[in-house]
Amino acid sequence: MRNKLRKIVRRAQQSFEMTTRPKVAKAFKRAVAEGLFDVEWYQEHYGTFPHPLAAFNDYNEKSKSSNINPSAHFDTEFYLRSNVDIYLGGVEPLTHYMYHGRYEHRASSGVINRWLPSTQLLAKETGSWKQQKIAIVLHIFYPDFVEKFAASLKRFPTEVDVFVTAATESIKTSSLKTFNELQNVKKVKAVLCENRGRNFGPFLVNFSKELLDYDLMCHLHSKKSLYSGREQTQWFDYQNNYLLNDKHVVKSVLRLFDEQKELGIYYPTSFWMMPAWVNHWTCNKGFAEGFVNKWGIDISDNFLNYPVGGMFWARPQALAPLLNENYTYSDFPEELLPNDGSWLHALERTLGLLAEKQGYQQFFYYPPQGKFTTDKSYISSSYYKSPEGLQSDIQNFEIVSFDIFDTVLRREFSEPDYAKFKLGKELVVAGYFVSELDFITQRNNAELACRKQRNFEGDVNIYEAYEKLSEILDLDKTLTEDWANREFHFDLSMALPKEEMVKIVQELYAMGREIWFVTDIYYTKEQIATMLRKIGIAVPYKLFVSSDLRKRKDAGTMWTFIKGLVDESKKSYIHVGDNVRSDAQICGDFGLQNVHILNPMDKWAIAGFETPLLNNEKSILKWGKQISNFGRYPFFGE
């Protein structure tokens, strides 16, 4: 797969780099003549330039990594998302389109307004913004980033002090020499760091308290990916553009901080080529409990605003509880760290919450609009999509698989344990348990005991759980088997279709697509098939149930199995599901395409409604039904 991608990227680069590559001035004239580059429009959005060609050069360079637009008639993000080889090849999208893409019938579009900030911050001339005491904090792992940072610092509009944590002695030496030669750099401190703590640990160990003496600090680090067989620095370039390199943006940031003392932390909106769920806790909430206890922050929401990648501007005072501590490298987890799921990944996600706890606001820059804003809703902008749009995203794949619960099937009252509660009510009346909660606790503990017997490998089914319950309570197995059937039928009676999703399944099958369902659940394969019939799934499909296969999505074993089937079929494949970890992140780790959708609870929270606790029957009956109805379609825009 990777070798194939490398060949595609190489062809895209070669076709663009061949002798017919247009000269910049010639391309500029053509773009202006065709209305694809509008100098006035561009400057209204992205600042003034000394001459029109400079504006065109600015667009060409930034558009390889940023979702900015040259005019109202060309959407950069659409072109690069539709033609990933151009993105991975680092090719200027507009010039490629004019000279190659249109003749290759590549998809393009006029500007699409994916998100419009509800607030706008306008930077004003304060007269004192240049007097702010500024620290630039750089963690440099790759030697070539010394020159990259130096090129940006050379353009910086005020004097700064530079703090460097270097991965090697040669990087340390190079940093001291290079940065000290810059006229606007007053002081350089560089230290050799241990390979521990990633980009956070070194600066906290070496500089944390010293940074409290500054008005502002900017933290960046070197970042590369080799996914396509060539160095990919688009994520870094995006961050660097809107944190350090873009003079218009940087001046505005400094003015806003100087004028509006309530602003505490700034960063550009999340990198546009990242998945929709990037602003989610994923598997990191457990690692954040220490910060909750120490700082009193609230981590109840699943989605949150934070500087993805750990690059940001901040008032050190906004992060004082973090900076005003003594650190050693032993405070940080050892390498090798996973791609996600560690104390450091949790720390990154707490920065915005900590600034807010300190009484400050977060603010952001949204490149497509060229606007600064305090509007935090950009994190849900990828979840605005019509059913037709969702179907369009997945209909070109030969195999489309779906999760089941909260994807094509919804429970009438949202709460998964409500079927157990209803059964518990009957068993309390019959004298087997003292309360519904007592039954649910013992039933779930019996299931947990089964999992422990299996060393948490594979999965268990509902009958195994109830058989274990019969052993624990010394009851007849036929009695608890009847309980298992009754629990299922309570759940079945409350199973409702997510109508738009069921319709998409039907239409995809009518288009000749293979339909698969993949679910982690304790119900048997036959029970799940019964549920699918209940919600109107009448087309042929393949069904993969964890309790049947003894493989789970959240453990990765199901995806190992699915990937083997996909590779054997040699067909294109995509999965659709609501669980950020098991349906999106882990699925993607196996190289499988996926679309993350919102479960009803997350959609409810993102819409701004207060999330109720569904911990008693009254609350379940009142709020559970409303949440289920609201979340019937898993995007906004139905």
Mean of the per-residue pLDDT values of the chain? 94
Question: What is the pLDDT averaged over residues 603-627?
Answer: 93
Q: Per-residue confidence at 637, pLDDT binned at 50, 70, 90?
A: confident
Q: How confident is the model at residue 6 (pLDDT cuts 50, 70, 90)?
A: low
The mean pLDDT of 466-476, rounded to a whole number, is 97
Q: Is residue 394 part of a domain?
A: yes
d(CA 224, CA 236): 7
> Is 445 among the domain residues?
yes
* Rounded distance between C-alpha atoms, residue 74 and residue 94, angstroms: 8
pLDDT tens-place string over residues 297-337: 999 999 999 999 999 999 999 999 999 999 999 999 988 88
Do 257 and 392 lie in one domain? The reply is no
- State how far the Cα of 516 lies from the Cα of 407, in Å rounded to an integer: 13
In a shared domain, residues 364 and 287: yes
Peptide bond into 138 cis (omega under 30): no
Question: Which residues neighbour 568 within 8 Å (Cβ) at sequence distance 6 or greater?
Answer: none
Sheet of 542-545, strands arranged across: 542-545, 514-519, 399-402, 573-577, 593-596
CATH at 201:
3.90.550.10
Query: Number of structural domains, the chain?
Result: 4
What percent of the chain has pLDDT above 70?
95
Reduce the secondary structure of 48-112 to three states and give it as a string: CCCCHHHHHHHHHHHCCCCCCCCECCECHHHHHHHCHHHHHCCCCHHHHHHHHHCCCCCCCCCCC
189 with 289, same domain? yes
Q: Which residue has the tokens 């391309």?
A: 27
Mean pLDDT lowest among 88-92, 495-499, 539-543 = 88-92
Report if residue 581 sits inside a domain: yes
Within-domain flag for 116: no
Residue 585 is part of a domain; what is its CATH number? Answer: 3.40.50.1000
Are 59 and 68 within 8 A, CB to CB?
A: yes
Domain housing 394: 387-410+498-630
Residue 106 lies in a domain: no
398, 571 contact by CB (below 8 A): yes
Residues 280 and 396 in one domain: no
The reply to whether 507 and 464 lie within a common domain is no
Apex 200 CA angle, 140 and 67, nearest 5: 70
Whether 461 shows a pLDDT value over 90: the answer reads yes
The answer to whether the peptide bond before residue 212 is cis (omega within 30 degrees of 0) is no
User: 231-235, 499-503, 514-518: which has the minimum mean pLDDT?
Assistant: 231-235
Residues written for the chain: 638
Computed over its alpha carbons, how large is the radius of gyration of the chain?
27
Pairwise CA distance, residues 472 & 478, whole Å: 14
Mean pLDDT computed over 279-291: 96
Q: Is the pLDDT of residue 90 over 70?
A: yes
Would you say residue 120 lies in a domain? Answer: no
pLDDT at 7: 54
Tell me whether residue 38 is in a domain: yes
- Residue 139 β-bridge partners: 165, 221
In angstroms, what CA-CA distances link 447 with 230, 468, 478, 524? Answer: 48, 7, 17, 14
User: Rounded distance, CA 115 to CA 272, Å?
Assistant: 12
* 414 token code pair: 């949202």
- Closest by alpha carbon to 285, among 268, 302, 272? 302
Cβ distance 239 to 310 under 8 Å?
no
Which residues does residue 595 pair with via DSSP β-bridges, in sequence order? 576
Q: pLDDT tens across 194-239, in order?
A: 999 999 999 999 999 999 999 999 999 998 764 434 467 899 999 9
Measured distance CA(378)–CA(366) in Å, rounded = 9
Cross-strand partners of 576: 402, 595
Nearest C-alpha neighbor of 475 from the set 433, 420, 424, 421: 433
Residue at which a domain ends, from 493, 508, 534? 493
Q: Which helix (H) or strand (E) holds 53?
A: helix 52-62
Q: Tell me, yes or no, whether 263 and 213 share the same domain.
A: yes
User: What does the pLDDT average to over 333-351?
Assistant: 92
On whether both 176 and 319 belong to a single domain, the answer is yes
Mean pLDDT of 176-193: 98
- Per-residue pLDDT tens digits for 37-80: 999 999 999 999 999 999 999 999 999 999 999 999 999 999 99
Tokens of residue 483, six digits: 């309980």
Relative orientation angle of helices 145-154 and 169-180, to the nearest 10 degrees:
20
Measured from the Cβ of residue 119, the count of other Cβ atoms closer than 10 Å reads 11
* Shared domain check, 335 and 227: yes
- What pLDDT shows up at residue 194? 93
Please give the model's pTM, rounded to 2 decimal places. 0.92
Of the three residues 473, 493, 513, the one that is the final residue of a domain is 493
Interval 234-248 mean pLDDT: 96
Q: Alpha-carbon distance 581 to 280, whole Å? A: 10
Same domain for 365 and 253: yes
Number of helices (H), then strands (E), belonging to the chain: the values are 28, 15
Residue indicated by tokens 């700064």: 160
10 and 76 in a common domain: yes
| Residue 152: per-residue pLDDT | 97
DSSP string, 380-398: GGGGB--HHHHHHHHTTSS
583 assigned to some structural domain = yes
Return the pLDDT at 286. 95
Do 190 and 314 reside in the same domain of the chain? yes
pLDDT in the model for residue 21: 52
Band of residue 529 on the pLDDT scale cut at 50, 70, 90 = very high
Whether 350 and 219 share a structural domain: yes
